[in-house]
Each structure stands twice: as C-alpha cells, then as structure tokens.
Structure 1
C-alpha cells in the first residue's frame, strides 16, 4: 500500500496560536527567533486566516531609504495621497520629521485590525529605524498594529515598552517543538514515528522545525534520519537535488531576492515557462510560498542562503544584478536600481538611473553617503561620457557642503567637456550653460557673483535649465531671504538692487524658481528699518509673485515676515495663523524638505516671547544633526538657538558657544546672524555683570547694523539690552540709531507684554479628573493597555477617554500631551 504524505502541512502549537491572537491587543508584536523556526510562517498563516487587513513589508538591506520606500509602498494600498506625502517627506530621522510622519500616518483611515508586518527586521540594523518604529508604537494610531519578525532585536527601549504595555514579545522558546509536538507534526504530514524517534529528533534539532522538515523529507526519500551536522547538505539532498536542472537554474536566478512577483520572475528568467516553474516549485515544498494578498512569492531564508552559496560558484551573479537593476529602473524604484547597478559595477547604469529620476523627481531623497560613494568610486571613463549627471552630482555635493569633492567634480566636468570631440556647439553651450547655473551657487551668498554666472548662463541656454527646477528649494530652507544675502555692512541697498535685477533672469532660466525673492528681501528690509507699513505692502507683492509660480519656499518667507509683523501689532492669533498657513502650504504641495523651516519660525516666535519651553526641542538644544538641515541655514538656526539660551538663562553656555556661532556665520558671511550673535553675547555678558565686555560687543553689533538702519534685531532683544543701549546713548555713541531703536522698542515690548498677559496665563485644560489622570499617564509614555492595568479600567474605556482628551486639548498626537503635563 502506497503511503500518502502531505509534507506541505503547517503545524502550529496551541501556545503559538494563542500568542498570535494577542497581536491585536498591542501596538507592537515582536516575533524573535533564529532562522528556520517558522516565525514568518506562523504570522503569515494566522493573519491569512483572519479578517485583518495585512500589509507585508520585507527588509532587504540596512538602509533607511530602502526601509522607507517599502513602508510607503505598503501604505499606498490604503491611501495613495498620504503615501506620496510620506515619500516626499523622506525617511524621518529627527524629532521634527518623525512628528510630521506621525501626523500624516494618523490621517490614514486604517480598517479595523490593520497589521503591518515587517519581515526580517534584523536586516534593518539601524537605530534611526528603531526610533521611528518606537515613535509610531508610542503614538498608538487607531486600528494600527505592527509586527516585527527578526532573528534578533536591538531596540534600545524594549524593556520600557514592554513594561508600559506597548509590546508583545515572542521569543525562540515559543517556537521550539517538544518531542510530543514533533510526533504530532510528523503524523500531520503522514509520517508515523515512535516516541523514541521523537525524542531522538528533539535531541538532534532542539525542536527546530526547519531542520525537522528537512529530516522528514530525507526519511521519506531514504527511510532514515540523517545527522544534522550539515544543514545545507541536507537542504541540497532533500529539497534542491530532486528538482530538474531548469528548476535549479530558475531558483538560483531568483535567489538575489527574498520575495518577488510573477512579473519580476518573468523578467529575470526571460523565458515563457515562468508560471509553470513557479507552480512546480510551490507545489513540491514549503520553502517557497505564494502570498495571495501580496501577490508575491516568498523564499525561506535557509533555502535563499543555500542558493546564494550555489550562485557564488556560477559566473552569472553580475548578470543577475544587472537584470534586477533594469527591473527596478523600469518600475520606478530608482534607489534599488542604483543599488543593483552598483553591485555589478555598472556605473553607466547608476548614472542612467540618476538621470531618469531627475526627470521625474524634483527633490530626489538621496542620502549623502550614497552620493559620495557613487561619485568617488565611479571610473573616469563613465564620468567622461555622462556630463549632465556629473552636474547633478556637483549640485548635490554643494548642498551637502562636500566642497572639496564638489570642486573636484566640477574640474573633472570641465576637462571632460574640453576633451569630448563628439559634442556639437549647441550641446556644448547647453552643458556649459547648465554648469554656470551650478557655479552660481559657488558665489552664494554674493548676489553680484551669482548674477555674473546667471548672465553667462542666459547667453548660453536657449531654453530653461534642466538642473534647476521651478520647485527646487532655492532658499536651502531659510525662512528669510534677507538673512541669506545680507553680507556686507553699509551695502544692503545695493544687495537689494542687484537682487531686483538678477532674480527675474534667474527665475526665467529656472522655470520660475525663486520668483518673488527680490520682493521678499525688500519687504524684510523695510521691516528691519522699522517701516512696517511699507513692509506689509511689499510683502503682499512678494506673495503674489511667489504664488504665481508656486514658490513654496518664498511663500513661507513671506508668512514668516507677516508673523513678525503680527507680533509688532500684538496680534498673537494672527501670528499663529501664519504658522498654520506655512504647514498647510507644505502639506498641500508636499514640500516636506521645509518642515524644519516652519519649526525655525515657531522657535523664533516663542523665543521672542520668552517661552523657551515651547521652542521645538531640537532647536532648544541646538541639534543640527538631521540630513535635511543644509549648511547655509545653520547660522539662521543659531539665531533661534542663541535667543533660546538667553531666554532659559544659560548665559555661560551662550558665551562659550559664541565663537562657534560667529565662525559658522562668517563662512559666507551671514551678517544678520553675526549681528544677532553679538547682541546675544552682549546680553549674556551683561547678565553675569561683565558690563565692559557687554558694551564692547554691543558697539560691534551696532557698527555692523546701523549703516543700513537695521534696527529690529536690537528692538526684538531690547528686553535684555536696553540698559546697554541707554548707556551707549549717554556716551554719545551712535545716538541717532540708538534713539530710533529705543523708540521702536517701547510699543514692541508693550505688544509682547500684552500677548503674554492674554495668552500665557495659567493654562486650564478643562479635563475631568479621570481624563486628566489618564492623560498624565499617557504623557508619561504608558500605552492604553498599560493605563488600563494601572487604573483598573478597560482598554476601551481608556480609548474613549483619550479621544475626549484629544478633542478638548485640540491635538491629534499623544506626543503633544507632554506640553500640558
């Protein structure tokens, strides 16, 4: 009688099934076990057999960009608009971008019991990704549950998260089969074994189900259980060897992926029998499985690793990488395309992917390390044939402040153009015109030097630049044009006049980029000289010009100026309204490179009001580590940081940091940042009773600013420097200028005092005692489940109360509770 085997049967113990049921009781479930313990299969089978909305993401590398692209693709199945917003945001690697990402994710209408499974999470190996996952979990987004499967987990705060009720942590012992369970598993597959054999198998495998599966296949084929000393040899004999040579070749072809679609397989295999081969493979073993929800094939890690060893012995690896790269290029996954082209040493392909993406993506989310790696390792022969991409690299390197490498790239570009005899005159002029556009930024922030390059570009280019797009962030994220281009004392009017001549030309060459920037600078000039009516009139003109070309960066600059005008008028709600308009503009246009700009504006507002506790944390501590913060705006950040140190009474730290502040502000230079810094140094010295030092530094600040009648930096800080100004006035130093500053400061300080009186009295939340109790625990970091246990109430009660808390406080995120408790 022929015995019928069913070796594809899945076996799950009751304890695994019970543990899987708890996925919906926690924001995060971690399934942690070594390779081959069935953790992925257990999660997939449980969720497949439940009405949950399952999103499945595989991790392939340890880059945050790769993780983010995969994460966004999963959310795209629920909300395309939000997914596109997240893609434009880029991987959130700091508190500002994480908060923005949480806000966007929080707007997604997740179906009840939605689960994002992130498989092979250990491959991420990135503290930044851990921080993002932890933030999502602590935020407890309604209906969203996350499952991480990994061989090991290194989340720093995992014990705290478990204590506070956020994490369900399943470990290896959950998946180890006992001798009795081994016998049950074998019987399910049609193999009857004695208790003695089950004990022996347990001793050999310690309950490792993948090894048990291979041993069972070996037993069916040969009638014996072999030793497990070489698991890959067993894999070869039990799984790989029985396949035909064609199937073996197909498996090796696909082993560079942990999962793949049928279309992807057809592209890689290149023959018309792909479907038949996939059916044969999935029907004959449990190491390759088709997921009907994701419409993808998943290969077990043990088999993948074995096949990769086989691949090493063949001379086809680079060809497979090249095919994979072309697949990703065709499907718009440019980061993965570049990665595979790079793996096979095909820099022509890397350059092609960069050029294709430039035509689609205005602000590609490249990381600095990738740009540096590709340009430094690329052979000269490839650089010599790809002139336009060399310019793309040069511009990106400048924005990353990689100046030596930027100069080397530019020099190489010029030599390549000179040596390329294939170029005709029009092509050469086109490339040199684009080069002049890039070189204009080497003159940053000297308007005259930049304008010379723009005029040369205008002579060479017969059509708008392909390097500078209309929506490129020409301000580098600064909320002030005057800050960017005011560099020489006594020459501010000249700077503005040059700007008035140059911006229309530059804007024409770049399809409207920077439109309205000249009027923004003029309006800021009027504001800083105390001509508030003129400032508001010109600001309206700037707004019209910026909106006509959809220049979000300039729109934010205008709104920042209007916010400052609102402070002068004592209208705090209007000032806050301008901040909200900035955020709305960013969300509408998905210009998430500017989210830090809005926080700079917010920090500026609260620092002026003396509310250091409301300044965004990263600004309050001077954290400039985010890759989104480009070097040219660092002095602007220090304007806010310095005022915050002053507000918080950190006078010694401020004085100690002053040399660094001045050094950064002197690079281009940024005269406005130097003026503010000297005001802060004078203020701090005066507060620690070093009046002589304070007066000397104040004189220096006034000497810089008064030739251009730049009064407002002093007016905004008169709450600290009035005694110094009055003393200098009595001494006869710059009396006219100081008199005007003191004249402007009186109504300004009255306006701020009125705002503080009306809007910053003791805050009353309006919460019930129970709501306040729950909100305080949530602010301390407890999950809904943890709060329920602590207060002896149901989790549903906590959810209901938290909803009421959010409505009363006008917030949408748990992390914002900290400002109230």
Structure 2
C-alpha cells in the first residue's frame, strides 16, 4: 500500500485565504456552514498564520461543547485567564442575563482591553450548540462597544443574527459561508496533488459532484482511497462513512480507547489515562491524533473529537453493556470531582446512577455551583436517589433542603427534613457533635420556610444556636441577606399595627441568627428601625439608627444591608433638599459596588434611583431598563420583587400612565400577598388613589386613600403619603373635612409641604439651564454639544480639537455625571439631563 504522508495536512484554498484575510478589518466575523465544512480548521489555520505574521496579536479561544449557559459563561471567563483581574470581575458578575449586567460586562471588557495597543481576536466556536438567541444580544452589544482593537470571530452551523440584525451591523460584520469553504473542481485537484493521490481527472470530477465540495466527504474519500484504493459510495450516510473509514480499520484496542474517551466533550492526556486505566493511553492517543484529522489538540493540551466522530463513537458506546457504561461514567465523575469541576461531576455521576458519588459532590460543593439552569435535574436527583442511600448521607440531605428552597420546592423541603431525622436516628457512626451540627444546619435551612416572619424564623435559629458548634454551612455569609431588597422594613413589616413589636423582635432575634451565621445580615435590626422612624417622619431618629446599622454592617462586610442604609440616606437627602448629596452618593455607590464586585446589587441601586427620580418628577432619568419596564429581565431575587413593582408603579405615576397603574393592581396584590408586604400594599392603595383622582374618579380615589390610611396610621406610617402629596393633597383635605384622621392628616400635610419645598428647590437649582453639574466650562460646552446629538468629529471640528480629545473628555463627563450604559444610552441620558426642566 502506498504511503500518503500529507493526507492529514490542512488544505486551505487561495480563495478562502483571501476571505480569511478580511477578518482584521471588521469588529465581528461569522463563519457559518453545515457540519464538516472545515470552519474550525480554517480559522485555526488563519490564527496560526496571524501569530507568525503579527507576533503581538492576542488570540483567545472558546470552544462551546454543551448547551449549558453556565458552561458557556465558565468557558468565556476562562478565555480571559491572561487578564486575572478581569477574570475575577467577570466571575463575580456571573452570566449577564439583563441589559444592565450586559452593559457592565461591556464596560469591564472595554476598560481592560482598551489599554492594549495590540489587536485581540476572540474565537468562539460551535455557537449552534446554545439555544437560539441565548447569547445573541450579548454578542451584538459587545461587537458595537468593544475597543477597535478587539475582533470577534463566531463559528456556527446556523445563522447567528437575524436579517434585521445583520443589516444593522452593516460594514461591522464580515460573513464567511459554506460557498467560501467548499472546494471547486480545480481546488479539489490541487488538494489531491498535494496528498499525492494518483486519481484520474474523471474520478475527481465525479468526487466533486458527489461531495458538492464538502471537505469532510472529500477527506473520507481520500482516506479510503489511501487505505484500500477505493472511493466511497455517494449514497452512504456520512456517519456510516466515518465508521467505515475511521473506525473499522483500527486495531481493536485503538477502537475501544476511541469509544471510551468519546463520552467526554473534551479531555486532556491525563484524563484519558485516568479513564483508560492502562499504561498505553498516551501512545494510543498520539497514534490516533497523528493519523486522524477528526481529532485535534489545542495549544493548551485539550483534545477534542470532531462532532461527527464523537456522534459515531457515542452510538457505539451506547451499545456497550450497561455495567461497563455505568462504571465508565462513574470514573469520569470521580475525575471531575477530583479536579473540582463540580457541574461535570454531577452529571457524570447521574449518568452512571452513582448516587454515592453524586451525594459526595453535593456535600463538597454545597450545591453552590448549581443554579436555576440545573433546577429540573436537581429536583430529579432528589426524587430518584434511593432513600437507603440518602439515609446514609445526612449532610447531603441538608444541602438538598437548602437548594430546594432556592428552586421554590417547598413541600420537598419538609419531606427531606423527615428523611433527615430518620437518617440521624439510624446513623450510629456520627459523633454527638457531628449529629448536632447537621441538625443545626437543617434548622437554619428550614427557617427559610418561615421567611419574613421574624419570630417564626427565630425559633429555628435559636434551636440552631443550641446545636451548632461552628458556623452553619446553610448560609453563605458573603451572600445578600436582603435577597437584593432595598429596604429591610419593606421586606419584614407584615402585620398592620405590629411595626413596633416587629422592630423589637428584630432586636431580640437577630443576635441568634448572627451567632450561627457569622454575622450574616449584621445591622439588620438597626436598619429596620431606621426605616420605621423615617416612614413616621422622624428624620433625626432615622438618621441615628441608620448610622448604627451602617456601622454594624461594615464590621461584617454586609453589602446588602449597607445598600439599604444608603437608600434611606438618599431618601433623607431629597427630603432635606440636598441634591448634591444625592448626585455624589449615587455615583459613589455605583463605583463602590463595582469595586467590591457586588454586581447583584447594581439592579437594586437602579430600582432605588428610578424610584427617587420618580418622586422628583423626572422619570426619564431612571435607568433605562427600569424606565422601559423590563422588570422580568432584572436580576432581582424573588423576595425583592414586591419592592421592584412598587417602585415601578411610582415611575408610572410620574410618567402619567394612570390607566397602567390601575391595570396592574391585581398582579401587584397577588405578589404583595405572598409574604404579606404591608408597606407595598399601602403604597399600592396610594398609587391607585392618585391614578383614579387623575382620571376624575374621586369616590374610588377616596376609598383607596382611606384603605391606605387604615393600614398605615396604626403604625404611624405617614411618609409614603407625604412623598406622593402632589397627587393626594385635595383628597387628604376632603377626608380631613369629614373628620377622618384629622391629626394624622395634618402631620402628613406638614411633611408634604416640606417635601414639596425640597423637591422644587432641587428642580429649580439642579435641573435648570444654569446648572454646571460639577463640570468645567470646557466640559460643559462639550456636554451641551453632545446633547445636541453632534458626533465626536463634529464637536472636534467646531471646537478645533482632536477627535480623540473629545472622546476622552466625554468619557470623563459621563464618569462625573454617573451616567452608565453603552455610548448611545449615555448620550441619551446626557441629553435628558441637560434639558431645561422648569416646571
């Protein structure tokens, strides 16, 4: 048999080389073609040539191997391991599921990458594996907002962008398709000559027609011809061809190795040796890689099968005896667990029905790696795991309890608690301290079932204090104790006329929780009291308690409690007419959250600012996602959603969307009733009263206002009425004339007058034409020109400046003004800010 040493060489046509050379001219390139057209091979070839011709160029790669968004984000972050600070910031951010988080990711990337003068190319392969549109918005935003030196190269079997999106991208987008990748007759002959195949022109013409220029089909035919001198049948399925050409000719040991390792998505030589468990793993891998173009090895030592080869070997793996398959998956799970690759370990053990391994992973990971994407699988594991195995793993049962609450599986938690008690009764190997620690963890986990019932939760916490000899593992002391709520009082005030007793409960009960959780939520009781004082119009006492809460929260780095303190401080600043403090603190808060990587609280800050600007009468200054009502896209934890909707209703009032407020009442009532959020219910009645009054439905407006007063005044709550006084003043006077709540309404009117005076002072001094906004004279000139929608070039020409100088000046202006988002959104916010708002 003749030798064909160049058969596995990469062959790139001159036509394709020319297309690939265009990549550097565009921010984004898509390479789209069906399976087996050589997309990855072509781009890898181009990247290697780039490294030789431009040594300073940086090439990052991400190979997508599953349909998991979690896996996608892990791979995306890993690609930036050469930028350690950026890597940690992106890990803390998590996959950006909403517009603010996506904009923040863009800013993080821009800040890091714009400092480089070298071009950077990010290759993202096999995007088709992700569910359609999963990352489209992310990719579009990045393509428009990353520095000029950054280029995205996206490989997929399917179209990534819609026709409209492609049109909008315009010249920013370079598209390489199947026609660029397929071989014509002349190119196929050149390929055959390079491989040294003595094929006749007639044979090659037939192959062109049969393969339609499909490189995988051509390669398999060349391989077959080299092995036995025969071409393949055009009627055969491609997977049959792979089986015939790549698998059948192998020695049995090589084939078995190939089949076994094919159960992984990607692997290292060490992992292959661990799975194979024989000394010849490396030699087998070297031989197979050398002689098979369908197995590749990256520069980082990661091996991957081509999808078509992997599909074939997995079909063969599925035909193996069940015991062999389970043993193999179990071994794979042990590898991933050893490497602390917990997600992969979970699913490998689940495929093996290795419940002991899965529970070991659950206990070691404490389920921290699992998120909503894995909820269905997690619940199935909890249901399918044999009870006798669960009973032998009481610590894992506690982890199940905790995570089931995150996935809103309440009844399952109670079942798990019963199982835990049986487990501890049967397990005689645990020491008394170990037993008590597990019971203590379970008490803390079970307390979540009584969320926002302070005393009921504390019963669990007190029992946990008696049991635990360490901090509980059921709580992450660095997590958000408030579930991203902006107000502890709004979250925990659940019974009319019980606000004082709830505050007392907080002060009595929280120390027990702090003891078991190492200070998680520290300062919550003072924050509750501060909010209550403010809602009663007692601003001085509110300030004192708020300072106490801030001090306690800082001692334990409880950022979510600090966020509540800062929100109250902003409300008090507006009440006192101190808008300079509002501007300064708003900017500092955002910078602080960025610095501390508390990205989960950025949406909390946004909703707070949206609420405050609504009170001031400038809803257009609210963060874009909030102003547009994209509430479902906000990364707000479920217990905080009542506050989100309450604040959004206030924005709708400021937008004069009276009918929309009324239309939302049933949805809001149902939401507020889940945890009995009394203050949200009070504000809803106020908002409905305001909307009805504006629509001329006075009687209904009075009825709603009276309901609000009935729920608020037993606890002395008056500030929500004062903050909405502009809508309610005439209604309040009418109720007072009926001798209803006379003294209380007088207090409300007095507070309302003070709030109105402060509001008008702010509007007059800070939203007029003469406001400098803390900008220099030159910065103010540039800002006003930008607000007139002039481009950087037009501004530069008008002021006789370099375009780069204008761009840098605008960046400083946006920073000073605390305007976040992408370039376009910042300009819109700037335009709104500089409008003359004399009202």
- Asked whether the two chains share a fold, i.e. TM above 0.5, the reply is yes
The answer on whether the counterparts of 1:180 and 1:198 sit within 8 Å (CA) in structure 2 is: no
The answer on whether the counterparts of 2:787 and 2:828 sit within 8 Å (CA) in structure 1 is: no
Structure 1 residue 104: deviation in Å?
2.4
- CA distance in 1 between counterparts of 2:233 and 2:149 reads 47
The answer on whether the counterparts of 2:604 and 2:636 sit within 8 Å (CA) in structure 1 is: no
Q: Partner of 2:152: helix, strand, or coil?
A: strand
Q: Partner of 2:97: helix, strand, or coil?
A: coil
The answer on whether the counterparts of 2:98 and 2:635 sit within 8 Å (CA) in structure 1 is: no
The answer on whether the counterparts of 1:290 and 1:298 sit within 8 Å (CA) in structure 2 is: yes
Structure 1 residue 98: deviation in Å?
1.8
- CA distance in 2 between counterparts of 1:362 and 1:512 reads 23
Corresponding position of 1:210: 216
Structure 1's 64 and 713: CA in aligned 2 closer, same or farther, altered over 3 A? same
Q: Return the match for 1:63 from 60, 64, 68.
A: 68
Task: Tell which has more relative contact order, 1 or 2 (C-alpha 8 A, sep 6+).
Answer: 1
- Corresponding position: 1:119 with 2:122: no
Structure 1 residue 136: deviation in Å?
1.8
Query: Can you list the C-alpha shifts for 1:433-477, whole angstroms capped at 9, x where unaligned?
Result: 222212222222121212222222222223221212322322111
Corresponding position of 1:533: 540
Structure 1's 286 and 324: CA in aligned 2 closer, same or farther, altered over 3 A? same
- Corresponding position: 1:340 with 2:348: yes
Corresponding position of 1:681: 688
- Corresponding position: 1:319 with 2:327: yes
Which shows bigger deviation, 616-625 or 547-556? 616-625
Query: Can you list the C-alpha shifts for 1:624-661, whole angstroms capped at 9, x where unaligned?
Result: 43584322111111111110111111111211211221
Q: Partner of 1:625: helix, strand, or coil?
A: helix
Structure 1's 802 and 319: CA in aligned 2 closer, same or farther, altered over 3 A? farther
Corresponding position of 1:705: 712
- Corresponding position: 1:201 with 2:207: yes
Q: Return the match for 1:144 from 144, 150, 158.
A: 150
- CA distance in 1 between counterparts of 2:709 and 2:785 reads 54
- Corresponding position: 1:814 with 2:823: yes
Q: Return the match for 1:109 from 94, 110, 113.
A: 113
Q: Partner of 1:738: helix, strand, or coil?
A: helix
Q: Partner of 2:486: helix, strand, or coil?
A: coil
The answer on whether the counterparts of 1:560 and 1:578 sit within 8 Å (CA) in structure 2 is: no
The answer on whether the counterparts of 2:242 and 2:309 sit within 8 Å (CA) in structure 1 is: yes
Q: Partner of 1:55: helix, strand, or coil?
A: strand
- CA distance in 2 between counterparts of 1:366 and 1:204 reads 43
- CA distance in 2 between counterparts of 1:130 and 1:381 reads 45
Corresponding position of 2:33: 33
Query: Can you list the C-alpha shifts for 1:768-821, whole angstroms capped at 9, x where unaligned?
Result: 97997675999xxxxxxxxxxxxxxxxxx9888655644444467335234346
The answer on whether the counterparts of 2:653 and 2:691 sit within 8 Å (CA) in structure 1 is: yes
Structure 1 residue 666: deviation in Å?
1.9
Structure 1 residue 569: deviation in Å?
2.1
Q: Partner of 1:146: helix, strand, or coil?
A: strand
Which shows bigger deviation, 756-765 or 345-354? 756-765
Structure 1's 707 and 362: CA in aligned 2 closer, same or farther, altered over 3 A? farther
Structure 1's 760 and 6: CA in aligned 2 closer, same or farther, altered over 3 A? same
Structure 1 residue 162: deviation in Å?
5.5
Corresponding position of 1:766: 782
In structure 2, list runs of 5 or more residues that go unmatched: 52-56, 772-779, 795-801, 832-839
Structure 1 residue 489: deviation in Å?
1.9
Structure 1 residue 22: deviation in Å?
2.1
The answer on whether the counterparts of 1:619 and 1:640 sit within 8 Å (CA) in structure 2 is: no
Q: Return the match for 1:328 from 321, 336, 352.
A: 336
Corresponding position of 1:227: 233
- CA distance in 1 between counterparts of 2:595 and 2:828 reads 28
Q: Return the match for 2:518 from 486, 502, 511.
A: 511
Corresponding position of 1:791: none
Structure 1 residue 364: deviation in Å?
6.7
Structure 1 residue 734: deviation in Å?
0.8
- Corresponding position: 1:97 with 2:107: no
Corresponding position of 1:736: 743
- Corresponding position: 1:592 with 2:599: yes
Structure-to-structure mapping, 1:514-663, within 5 angstroms:
514-626=521-633, 628-663=635-670
Count of matched residue pairs? 801
Structure 1 residue 622: deviation in Å?
4.5
Query: Can you list the C-alpha shifts for 1:530-589, whole angstroms capped at 9, x where unaligned?
Result: 222222222121111101111111111111111111112222232233333433443333
Query: Can you list the C-alpha shifts for 1:254-301, whole angstroms capped at 9, x where unaligned?
Result: 212343222322322233333322222222232222222x33223222
Structure 1 residue 314: deviation in Å?
2.0
Corresponding position of 2:79: 74
- CA distance in 1 between counterparts of 2:544 and 2:642 reads 28
Query: Can you list the C-alpha shifts for 1:186-207, whole angstroms capped at 9, x where unaligned?
Result: 1111224343222111011000
Structure 1 residue 409: deviation in Å?
3.4
TM-score, normalised by the number of residues in structure 1 = 0.91
Which shows bigger deviation, 59-68 or 322-331? 322-331
Structure 1 residue 119: deviation in Å?
1.4
In structure 1, list runs of 5 or more residues that go unmatched: 779-796
Corresponding position of 1:717: 724
The answer on whether the counterparts of 1:771 and 1:801 sit within 8 Å (CA) in structure 2 is: no
- CA distance in 2 between counterparts of 1:529 and 1:713 reads 9
Q: Return the match for 1:436 from 434, 437, 443.
A: 443
Corresponding position of 1:781: none
Corresponding position of 2:138: 132
- CA distance in 2 between counterparts of 1:725 and 1:502 reads 38
Q: Return the match for 1:305 from 301, 307, 311.
A: 311
Q: Partner of 2:586: helix, strand, or coil?
A: helix
Corresponding position of 2:17: 17
Structure-to-structure mapping, 1:92-491, within 5 angstroms:
92-109=96-113, 111=116, 112-156=118-162, 159-161=165-167, 163-230=169-236, 231-292=238-299, 294-315=300-321, 316-358=324-366, 367-418=374-425, 420=427, 423=430, 425-491=432-498
Corresponding position of 2:45: 45
Query: Can you list the C-alpha shifts for 1:154-181, whole angstroms capped at 9, x where unaligned?
Result: 5346644565333222221111111111
Query: Can you list the C-alpha shifts for 1:403-458, whole angstroms capped at 9, x where unaligned?
Result: 33334433443444455555554343322222221222222212121222222222
- CA distance in 2 between counterparts of 1:257 and 1:798 reads 52
Structure 1's 79 and 2: CA in aligned 2 closer, same or farther, altered over 3 A? closer
Which shows bigger deviation, 467-476 or 421-430? 421-430
- CA distance in 2 between counterparts of 1:767 and 1:622 reads 28
The answer on whether the counterparts of 1:228 and 1:234 sit within 8 Å (CA) in structure 2 is: no
- CA distance in 2 between counterparts of 1:591 and 1:261 reads 35
- CA distance in 1 between counterparts of 2:4 and 2:644 reads 72
The answer on whether the counterparts of 1:26 and 1:145 sit within 8 Å (CA) in structure 2 is: yes
